[in-house]
Amino acid sequence: MNCFLYSLVLQWKLDIRSKSLLVTFYIVPLIFFLIMGGIFTSVIPEMGSTLIQSMIVMSVSMGAFLGLPPSLVEIYGSDIKKIYNANGVPIYLGLVTILLSAFVHLMMICIVILLLAPILFKASLPTQLPIFLLSLTIYIIVSLSIGCILGLTLKNQAKLTMLAQLVFLPSIMLSGIMFPISLLPDFLQVIGHVFPAYWGYRLMLENGFSIENLWYMIFIFCIAVMIGILLLNKQKSE
């Protein structure tokens, strides 16, 4: 337990000093929010009712797909993993501490957006805030589970960045947060349904918390957990 708490505190200290984490978890999402929030609500005032959900999906996706995986590669793609094994530290400890840290960072930026959007852009706050926060938590957990798979699969940062972009960009463009998904061709709508961002966005909308929008998220999470366990076991044997 002491080892876990020490690792958690150490990870938080490393995060505070990390410029890449600051960029992917805070700076870029906030800039995107400030620019696109102004554009969306000026061109289409009705988007104020879904602005918070849209900006949160974008922020979570960026942090989980572009911010989390490189941190995992720094541990499991380097000699740090060997130090873990040599000192009898559980191989999953690095993953757990990074996940918890990333969850806190994502929740923090989402709360900032939740508080600023009504003030800056007169966006509508969720009427059922507890349900909204539950939906947000589910989406963050599912997104982080996918980010874990990316970070544990590849050891090369360049290849990882390319693969992460291939997951991140369609998640944003085909999820319906930028424009109604009904405007897309049918085959792109089908592709959009593959990404959790589409379901996470729908889950966070008013009256969107239903099994129809939830089942796919649960399915993806279960698959990601199973793959993650296999990848960790592979890391342990290497």
Is residue 79 classed exposed, middle or buried when 0-12, 13-18 and 19+ CB atoms within 10 A define those classes?
Answer: exposed
What pLDDT sits at residue 203? 94
SS3 154: coil
Buried-state track 203-223, b at ≥16 Cβ within 10 A, e below 16: bbbeebbeeebbebbeebbee
Each residue's pLDDT expressed in tens, for the chain with a length of 238 residues: 555 565 666 666 666 666 778 888 999 999 999 999 988 888 888 888 899 999 999 999 999 999 988 888 877 766 666 666 656 667 677 788 889 889 999 999 999 999 999 999 999 999 999 999 999 999 999 999 999 999 888 888 888 888 999 999 999 999 888 888 888 889 999 999 999 999 999 999 988 899 999 999 999 999 999 999 998 888 776 6
236: number of Cβ within 10 Å: 13
What pLDDT sits at residue 41? 86
Q: Which residues contact 42 (CB under 8 A, 6 or more apart)?
A: none
Euclidean distance between CA atoms 28 and 16, whole angstroms? 16
Q: Which of 34, 108, 35, 39 is nearest to 67 (CA)?
A: 108
Sorted by where each begins, the domain ranges of the chain are 15-37+49-237
CA dihedral 17, 18, 19, 24 (to 10 degrees): -140
